Structure 1
Amino acid sequence: MFIFATIKNEKKRGKLEELYIAQASSMYKVAYRILDDEYLAQDAVHEAFINISNNFEKIMQTDCNKMGALLIIIVRNVSINMYNRRKKSGFSYEELGEEISDSGPGIEEILMNKEMFSIVVEKIKELHPSYADILSLKYFYHYEDSEVCRILSITPENFRTRLHRARHSLITLLSREQEGKNRE
């Protein structure tokens, strides 16, 4: 990566290269699941490593067991930001055409699903970070329960409790959103 060449401190460069070798593939998978484009996913990983490089001292203070989860969260946030920027530029007709098949859902259903997805993503961002992380890892990145436990360094019991509370909090936020729309 080009960013490594710009770092003069050999120790910092070596640590970043180690992180890249160890975590880049899992970070890419997370980015790809969000962006559904291999080039954008690669860009997200590179942008995440730029952020990591800029905040190197803070990140290296993180417990080594939590480093993988932190990097996943960083690339997730970068990917979501990229997705939102791309979405703000509007839907391309080519993108919609690829999603529509003769036997598949209609345009209205596709647009409603994308709108609902955006609403859910925005509400998840409003949740407590521990709830947002567990929901994201479980439902957006499709990690198995045991993998989520390992990434977040929590017990299976803690996972179930936190997941239940996160779902309940999300449902509460979505209900309030719906009530607000019904009043208008």
Structure 2
Amino acid sequence: MDREEVLHLYDTYSDDVYRLAYSFFLNPHDAEDAVQEVFLRLMSRNLTLMPDKEQALLARITANYCKDCLRKNKRSANITEADDCRIVSGDSAEKLELQELLKELPPIYRAVLYLHYYVGYKPAEIAKILTITPSGVFMRLSRARKLLKTKLGDENIANK
């Protein structure tokens, strides 16, 4: 893949890659490292991209990189006090509360929530990206919603 293509993809999708990596690490520095590593890997491989599939490929590379880092304990998933990054965009009190609740979820749940609700992938697409079964995606979405519901109390959670 030539440099021009990678730069174009970086300009277009670097924020999405960052948010997905942040949903795994909950650390802005590790997420920035992940963005750099994902695009370096993309540049070093001889890939032919299919039109309209770039975002899915980048999401898969990002998810695999993040899972590898967490598995090898190379990265820390600790939340820092000075952390001002947002998985959920906007500043309303409700969104800030949701941001804090998402930080408390395990990375496997944050990733599927991010890919489903923020990016808009269907469960079958998320299954391919995260290399799990579609039923695994449904299970993780269900468990994540239950965890959020118990943390929020009796408030209604959208059950999509």
Q: Into which bin does the TM-score normalised by the smaller protein fall? A: 0.5 to 0.7
Residue of structure 1 in register with 2:51 after alignment: 64
Deviations 1:52-88 (A, max 9, x none): 1111x22x2x312111111011011111222223369
Alignment partners' CA distance in 1, 2:138 and 2:16: 29
Equivalent residue in structure 2 for 1:138, among 100, 112, 120: 112
Verify the 8 A CA contact 2:112 2:137 in the aligned structure 1: no
- State whether structure 2 residue 31 is matched by structure 1 residue 41: yes
Residue of structure 1 in register with 2:136 after alignment: 166
Residue of structure 2 in register with 1:15 after alignment: 5
Q: How does 1:93-172 map to 2 (within 5 A)?
A: 95=78, 138-139=112-113, 141=114, 143-144=116-117, 147-149=120-122, 152=125, 163=134, 165-166=135-136
Gaps of 5+ in 1: 1-10, 99-112, 122-134, 154-161, 171-184
Verify the 8 A CA contact 1:138 1:148 in the aligned structure 2: no
Q: Compute the RMSD of aligned alpha carbons.
A: 3.9
Per-residue deviation, 1:168: 7.7
Give the residue type in structure 1 aligned to 2:116: Y
* Matched length: 111
More displaced 10-residue stretch of structure 1: 72-81 or 20-29: 72-81
Per-residue deviation, 1:144: 1.8
Verify the 8 A CA contact 1:44 1:75 in the aligned structure 2: yes
- State whether structure 2 residue 85 is matched by structure 1 residue 85: no
TM-score (norm: length of structure 2): 0.53
Bigger relative contact order (CA 8 A; separation at least 6) = 2
CA separation of 1:146 and 1:32: change in aligned 2, threshold 3 A: closer
CA separation of 1:18 and 1:74: change in aligned 2, threshold 3 A: same
Equivalent residue in structure 2 for 1:75, among 62, 65, 89: 62
Q: Percent identity?
A: 20
TM-score (norm: length of structure 1): 0.47
When you count helix as a share of all residues, which structure comes out higher? 1
Deviations 1:135-169 (A, max 9, x none): 88533x353288113x949xxxxxxxx74x33589
